Structure 1
């Protein structure tokens, strides 16, 4: 066993997070120098999980990852939550944008729903997009291992801070408002709650992520300040939702009993 392999097996999570950041951020300095088209690749977490599993757990690790990503028997209620909660948050934000700030009401008949559906379908298989690029890493690999040593709340706080930091290149390049970082931290807690309440189903995280980004401001006809305001409203509502799931469902945050345990690991 090489020294690198031995170290990785002792420090699986450290290796995973380090590799996830490296694989996602490597283009950032080249983008800043004007010689790369993007500062950021969303596929870093999934690639990091695949590499670390190959070094540490092999086939057993891949079977565990696949099981979490295909765990669909969670009850129709949780399927509804995964699909409808992001749409409900968007609907409330749109309603506030229109009724309080006099933004133009969306013409739902003019929305290209076929394009929205196609975009959502592609997100289920595109590793360069968030749902497949992130969820196998953050929620299928890192979360259950964090919860081997930490309570769900502490694990969610750690994961939320790291995932928010991971988005930093998007902020420095102007692709994400700085407000997006605390929102990312907050919504990570919602992801943790959903995954734990569905018995460790990372599939629900993928569905949730697809639904969350399926309909953007432009698709609803918002532009300029109205689109920016919709982003602020949506982000604020996600912070409220995160506060709600933490305070209203305290039992879910005290122990990792909702998560199938994996092998003992060190960070």
Structure 2
């Protein structure tokens, strides 16, 4: 496969951008910095207020990533930026095997790892597959849930701009670290294995995004397939759940390593 590094985003580095002043001008000149700062602030804002007894509860607002991308696009790029993101959101004309990869690999990996670490009391007969299908569809369009809240932001906005200056491999490493740290407030729920898995699976996301011509739709499907069937749905609890999390983390690390080694062209900048 030929490499296609995705970086075709409107940057507007013209005289108007260079001469803009104030906060809007700073954001236009520092799109990525502005985006990541906003993504953290909008997702974490209730935590310090809760600690100071100013806010009644603490919450992790995943939609902060999506809002950050939309704010920066509105200030720095305007309509061309929204058109670019919109085209990526509906970019569906990709080879069929990428759909198979996005939809089947997460489920196959989960069940495959489950064979190595069987749940002590799985209730297969009680799994309502119709409910899972409905959950899949709702998560696909719900901006308050992980897939829609994150993919237009991390992949649709950040990856093309990171790859304007860095190779896809370096971009994936930088993004993986920032996204893993962004999930830090969820440490009590996802554990250390979840944070590490978030880092390593970012390489898989970036590979899929680039190989599909910058399709946010495909990485959105991939993210959705990852989480609509949870480990607790399969009966994992306590120590078994923790072990399963580490096993899946290791499995995704293997997938990422295989993609890096087997498809080296995908990770270098075009000559």
* TM-score of the superposed pair, with normalisation by structure 1: 0.89
How has the CA–CA distance of structure 1 residues 256 and 46 changed in structure 2, closer, same or farther, with 3 Å as cutoff?
farther
Report the secondary structure of 1:221's partner residue.
coil
How has the CA–CA distance of structure 1 residues 178 and 33 changed in structure 2, closer, same or farther, with 3 Å as cutoff?
farther
> How far off its partner does 1:105 sit?
6.1
Match of 2:199 among 185, 189, 193: 185
Residue matched to 2:166: 150
Q: Does 1:116 align with 2:136?
A: no
Spell out, residue by residue over 1:87-128, the C-alpha distance to the aligned partner (whole angstroms, 9 max, x if none).
Answer: 111011111112xxxx33634332111221111111111111
Q: Does 1:136 align with 2:176?
A: no
Task: Kindly indicate whether the alpha-carbon contact (under 8 Å) linking 2:42 and 2:68 is maintained by their aligned counterparts in 1.
Answer: yes
d(CA) in 1 for partners of 2:234 and 2:269? Answer: 41
Residue matched to 1:11: 30
d(CA) in 2 for partners of 1:94 and 1:30? Answer: 40
How has the CA–CA distance of structure 1 residues 105 and 255 changed in structure 2, closer, same or farther, with 3 Å as cutoff?
farther
Match of 2:208 among 172, 176, 194: 194
Task: Kindly indicate whether the alpha-carbon contact (under 8 Å) linking 1:194 and 1:204 is maintained by their aligned counterparts in 2.
Answer: yes
How has the CA–CA distance of structure 1 residues 164 and 109 changed in structure 2, closer, same or farther, with 3 Å as cutoff?
same
Match of 1:48 among 42, 64, 68: 68
Task: Kindly indicate whether the alpha-carbon contact (under 8 Å) linking 2:64 and 2:149 is maintained by their aligned counterparts in 1.
Answer: yes
d(CA) in 1 for partners of 2:51 and 2:145? Answer: 22
Residue matched to 1:263: none
d(CA) in 2 for partners of 1:230 and 1:113? Answer: 22
d(CA) in 1 for partners of 2:56 and 2:253? Answer: 33
Cα RMSD of the aligned pairs, angstroms, is 1.6
How has the CA–CA distance of structure 1 residues 75 and 116 changed in structure 2, closer, same or farther, with 3 Å as cutoff?
same
**Superposed, which structure 2 residues align to 1:233-248 within 5 Å?**
233-248=247-262
How has the CA–CA distance of structure 1 residues 256 and 207 changed in structure 2, closer, same or farther, with 3 Å as cutoff?
farther
Task: Kindly indicate whether the alpha-carbon contact (under 8 Å) linking 1:29 and 1:39 is maintained by their aligned counterparts in 2.
Answer: no
> How far off its partner does 1:203 sit?
0.9
* TM-score of the superposed pair, with normalisation by structure 2: 0.88
Q: Does 1:251 align with 2:271?
A: no
Task: Kindly indicate whether the alpha-carbon contact (under 8 Å) linking 1:27 and 1:39 is maintained by their aligned counterparts in 2.
Answer: yes
Spell out, residue by residue over 1:10-66, the C-alpha distance to the aligned partner (whole angstroms, 9 max, x if none).
Answer: 111111111111101101224446754443110111101100011011111000001
Number of residues paired by the alignment?
251
Q: Which sections of structure 2, spanning at least 5 residues, go unmatched? A: 1-19
> How far off its partner does 1:180 sit?
1.8
Report the secondary structure of 2:239's partner residue.
helix
Q: Which sections of structure 1, spanning at least 5 residues, go unmatched? A: 258-267
Spell out, residue by residue over 1:221-257, the C-alpha distance to the aligned partner (whole angstroms, 9 max, x if none).
Answer: 2222222222221111111111111111111001269
